[in-house]
Amino acid sequence: MIVRLYIEILKGNILGYNYQYPLSGFIYKTIAKADAQFATFLHNEGYRLNEKQFKHFTFSSLNFGKGGMKHIPKSDRFYINSRTMLLELRFFIPKAAETFIIGLFNQQEFGLGDKLNRIDCHVGRVETLAVPDFSKQEALFKTNSPILLSEPQANGHAHYLNPEKDAQYAAKFLENLRNKWQSLSGNVPDGEMEFSLLEGSVKRQGIKIKAFTKAETQIIPYHFKFKLCAPEAILRLGYLSGFGVEGSMGLGCCEVIENK
């Protein structure tokens, strides 16, 4: 399911670009108010396959509308010129759980930001959106929020894969989708899958996690356009839960450019 939040900005007009982690915290806390057990499961356990963990939801970047934000030179901050913003939440959940999610976020109030800047927000309205039709088993996508894939290195650090430069990127992308499906169904998905990068600029975006704490780390996901051929259920899964890893932190949220 897709839920769109219409959010009013009550106070503040500067925000750091690294808002994904605290925004993810708001989502978890909101779910916890209604169902603490489910929120704890998502945060601590998720759906597991061997050592991998999947939570099967993602969210978009904040949308302030045309001209609604302006970069502050020589900083990782931006001015907000709008008093409203949109946020899309996507969940790959059973139909029976959708009613639970729909009413959960309406009229919620929350703060967003870090130790330097913060905005106070109010969810004024919530609506559900239709999921695109993937019955033709092929679609073109562009990233709304960047996609993260990585491989461990001998030194213990992660190598963040670049879709343009790393030969194993397509295989890793498809492996992640297969693992997500298997974590839900227990079965390897049937049908062929093919990933291909589309022409256009590939752009890296450094994102800090737990900024201004001792646990601060930086990850390197990428923005790009791609074509994906896969069974309808797999396309739907990727669209709703996010492509790549860390979908629950707002990564891998993509829009359909063309649905063939």
**Structure token pair of residue 255:** 């829009």
What is the CATH classification number for the domain harbouring 24? 3.30.70.1890
50 φψ region: left (φ > 0), alpha (ψ -120 to 50), beta (else): left
Residues 52 and 144 grouped into a single domain? no
Say if residues 226 and 196 touch (Cβ distance below 8 Å): yes
Instruction: Give yes or no for residue 260 having a pLDDT over 60.
Output: no
Q: What is the mean pLDDT of the chain?
A: 87
- Indicate whether 147 and 118 sit together in one domain: no
Last residue of a domain, one of 109, 129, 149: 129
Residues 121 and 176 in one domain: no
In one-letter notation, the amino acid at residue 79 is Y
**Single pTM value for the model:** 0.87
Give the lowest-confidence range in 156-160, 181-185, 223-227, 254-258. Answer: 181-185
pLDDT for the residue 154: 83
Domains identified in the chain, total number? 2
Q: Same structural domain for residues 91 and 158?
A: no
The answer to whether residues 115 and 220 belong to one domain is no
Q: Which of 79, 100, 129 is the last residue of a domain?
A: 129
7 and 76 share one domain? yes
Average pLDDT of the residues in 155-170: 92
Q: Are residues 9 and 110 located together in one domain of the fold?
A: yes
The answer to whether 43 touches 35, Cβ cutoff 8 Å, is no
State which residues form the domain around 124: 2-129
- Cα separation, 251 vs 147, whole angstroms: 6
User: Which of 91-100, 109-118, 218-227 has the least mean pLDDT?
Assistant: 91-100
CA 107 to chain centroid? 22
User: Which of residues 114 and 154 earns the better pLDDT score?
Assistant: 114
In this structure, the answer to whether residues 231 and 153 fall within a common structural domain is yes
Query: pLDDT for 25-76, tens place per residue?
Result: 898 888 777 665 555 545 554 444 445 444 678 999 999 999 999 999 999 9
- Please state, in angstroms and as integers, the Cα–Cα distance from residue 155 to each residue in 93, 152, 245, following that order: 38, 8, 21
The predicted model gives 4-17 an average pLDDT of 96
pLDDT of residue 28: 80
Do 75 and 117 fall within a single domain? yes
How confident is the model over 137-150, as a mean pLDDT? Answer: 96
Name 16's bridge partners: 77
The closest of 121, 139, 147 to 221, measured between CA atoms, is 147
Domain boundary among 129, 160, 192: 129
Output the domain CATH number for residue 195. 3.30.70.1900
Residue 39 φ then ψ, to 5°: -65, -40
Whether residue 124 is found in the same domain as residue 142? no
Same domain for 209 and 120, yes or no, is no
Lowest mean pLDDT among 17-21, 88-92, 160-164, 184-188: 184-188
Among 10, 20, 14, residue whose Cα is nearest residue 221: 20
Whether the pLDDT of residue 256 is over 70: the answer is yes
In this prediction, residue 38 carries a pLDDT of 56
Residue predicted with more confidence, 99 or 230: 230
30 lies in the same domain as 123: yes
pLDDT in the model for residue 259: 55
Structure-token match 């759906």, residue found: 47
